[in-house]
Amino acid sequence: MAKTYLEIVKYMVEAKFTIDGVVDKPDIIGAVFGQTEGLLGSELDLRELQKNGKIGRIEIDVNQSSNKTFGKLHLPASLDRIETCILAAAIESVDRVGPYEANFGVDKVEDTRSEKRRKILNRAKDLLKQLLNTEIPDSKEIAEMVQSDVRASEVTTYGPEQLPAGPEVGKSDEVIIVEGRADVLNLLRNDITNAIAVGGATNNIPKSIITLATEKESTLFLDGDRGGDLILRSLMNVAEIDFIARAPDGKEVEDLTRKEVIKALRTRIPTDQYQGGRNRRPSQQGQGSGGTPQYRPTPPRPPQPPDPQDQPQRAEPAKELSAILEPNPGEVGDIGRQSYMPAKDLSRPAPNPGPEPALKSMLLTQLAGGLDELTGTLRSRLYDSAGNIIKEIPIRELLAGVEYTNGVYAIVLDGVITQRLVELAVQRNIKAVYGQKANTLTRKYPGIILYSKEQGTIS
């Protein structure tokens, strides 16, 4: 676009010319002004229009070759479209420049405002894309930011040392000990509310941590680096830690994803498994001083063949039953979902030694009474062979509870007996399962009593 001195340029007239001789720019401009003077009246005279600021300075691009001159002419105007087109036609009437013949032809009359609108539109599109991509988060990011802020607001303090902690540390029977506030916050983001931080101290463990480890089941959840090793060594000297969980090598607890957090807690190791020579590093076995135990569980013992006398006498058979029902929505909860906190003893029990007598009628009556007590609670109980309650847990945690609890003799649940639960009970040498209802089993299970309130004794 040619340079102008107008405040507003509405249109730009662009014309090509060819002159049969060698001339300069002033010759061409003089010919345009001279041959259009008086042609259209005083209102459209180029000199008057330029003087009044209706048109701008005429710009000429000139090239010369073979005794000819050719190029382009640009005339900016702030007139309306009709007057501008009249001026363009007048320019085409110029037929001589000096002594030489000339030919002028208008290529186009461009509306400069349209060009500006096009540029504004394209720029607006670019700005909008930038805004959407970098400034405005999507709905998922917004939800995560809101959740993160809410979780951060749930971080409380515990004890006289004002240790960063989750809101359930004082109420829960279990506590997870981590290194710093960021670790507590990450566990809160993943719905774990019973974590507390030692504050990164390795020389002076807070008394609140020592007290919690003594009174509650404690899991030490540490980073997979040297700092985690140091805190582990310091805590083991002063506190009663039940389990050890570690982040993957080179990672910190505050950076773990939900899947990594749950996996680390589910594969935690009992503390006593760190004290055997098999689980110590070479430096702890006479090959140097110092060192930190390796975090690998002791391999489980191979299964032992069952004793023929280890099966109970068959009770009077009744109707056929299935193992814990698949829960109906809103009725018994999600039995298949496991808790993130496994039970204290992760090793599988060996079969009970000695012959197993038939279940006594008094114990069966006690189990039936327990079933009545649990009605409407969506909870379950694990009993030992003496009829004592080992633990009472929600139905959704039942499979995990059975899997990781030793000495279970009978199960009572306010739910449905499903095939999966019966197979797990047989595997764990459990002698009775009592529930509200029962699914149809695909095969019979000798050696275990299955009872539903709806059907009575199944097997």
Residues 103 and 184 in one domain: no
The reported pLDDT for the residue numbered 134 is 67
d(CA 102, CA 219): 97
Higher per-residue confidence, 33 vs 228: 33
Classify residue 266: in a domain, yes or no.
Answer: yes
Burial 164-182 (b: 16+ CB within 10 A, else e): bbbeebeebeebbbbbbbb
Residues 321 and 423 in one domain: yes
Classify residue 381: in a domain, yes or no.
Answer: yes
The reported pLDDT for the residue numbered 325 is 33
Tokens encoding 25? 């720019």
The reported pLDDT for the residue numbered 19 is 92
Residues 236 and 269 in one domain: yes
Beta bridge partners of 164: 157
Residues 234 and 151 in one domain: yes
The reported pLDDT for the residue numbered 102 is 93
- CATH number of 428's domain: 3.40.140.20
The reported pLDDT for the residue numbered 433 is 94
The reported pLDDT for the residue numbered 177 is 92
Residues 347 and 441 in one domain: yes
- Name the domain boundary from 252, 285, 318: 285
Residues 151 and 62 in one domain: no
**pLDDT tens for each residue of 269-328:** 888 775 433 333 333 333 333 333 333 333 444 444 444 444 444 333 333 333 333 344
d(CA 409, CA 59): 103
Q: Tell me the DSSP string of 284-349.
A: GGTSSS-------PPPPPPPPPPPGGGSPPPPPP-S---SBPPPPTTTT--TTPPPSS--S--SPP
Q: What angle do CA 221, 224, 225 make, to 5 degrees?
A: 120
Output the CA–CA distances (angstroms, integers) from residue 45 to 37, 55, 105, in the order listed: 6, 10, 19
Phi-psi group of 73: left, alpha or beta (phi > 0 → left; psi -120 to 50 → alpha; rest → beta): beta
Look at strands 243-246 and 217-222 and give their pairing.
parallel
Residues 451 and 324 in one domain: yes
Residue 55 sits in which domain range? Answer: 11-115
Output the CA–CA distances (angstroms, integers) from residue 20 to 16, 62, 68, 104, in the order listed: 14, 13, 5, 12
> Is the confidence at residue 37, as pLDDT, over 50?
yes
**pLDDT tens for each residue of 238-273:** 888 889 998 998 888 988 998 999 999 998 888 877
Q: Using alpha carbons, select from 256, 328, 297 the residue that is nearest to residue 404.
A: 297
Residue range 51-70: mean pLDDT, rounded: 89
Pair 379, 327: CB distance under 8 Å: no
- Distance between start and end Cα atoms, the chain: 96
**pLDDT tens for each residue of 382-435:** 999 888 999 999 988 899 889 888 999 999 999 889 888 999 999 999 999 999
- Name the domain boundary from 234, 253, 285: 285
Classify residue 226: in a domain, yes or no.
Answer: yes
Band of the pLDDT at 85, cuts 50, 70, 90?
Answer: very high
Classify residue 129: in a domain, yes or no.
Answer: no
Classify residue 403: in a domain, yes or no.
Answer: yes
- CATH number of 260's domain: 3.40.1360.10
- Name the domain boundary from 251, 285, 319: 285
Q: What angle do CA 122, 128, 134 make, to 5 degrees?
A: 135
Q: Using alpha carbons, select from 40, 36, 81, 80 the residue that is nearest to residue 58.
A: 36
> Is the confidence at residue 112, as pLDDT, over 50?
yes
Residues 108 and 207 in one domain: no
Residues 87 and 159 in one domain: no
Give me the number of domains the chain comprises.
3
**pLDDT tens for each residue of 116-158:** 888 898 899 888 887 777 655 666 666 666 666 666 667 888 8
Residues 281 and 383 in one domain: no
**Stretch among 71-75, 115-119, 376-380, 430-434 having the lowest mean pLDDT:** 115-119
Residues 380 and 336 in one domain: yes
The reported pLDDT for the residue numbered 199 is 77
Classify residue 3: in a domain, yes or no.
Answer: no
Look over the chain and give the mean of its residue pLDDT values, rounded to a whole number. Answer: 77
Tokens encoding 346? 């992760």
Q: Which helix (H) or strand (E) holds 401?
A: helix 398-403
Tokens encoding 124? 């607006």
% helix, strand, coil for the chain, step of 5: 35, 20, 45
Tokens encoding 67? 């005794």
Tokens encoding 160? 């006289």
> Is the confidence at residue 358, as pLDDT, over 90?
no
Residues 76 and 167 in one domain: no
d(CA 284, CA 292): 8
- CATH number of 47's domain: 3.30.70.2690
Q: Using alpha carbons, select from 85, 101, 82, 90 the residue that is nearest to residue 37.
A: 90
> Is the confidence at residue 348, as pLDDT, over 70?
no
Q: What percent of the chain has a predicted confidence (pLDDT) above 70?
A: 74
The reported pLDDT for the residue numbered 172 is 86
The reported pLDDT for the residue numbered 284 is 36
Classify residue 139: in a domain, yes or no.
Answer: no
Classify residue 122: in a domain, yes or no.
Answer: no
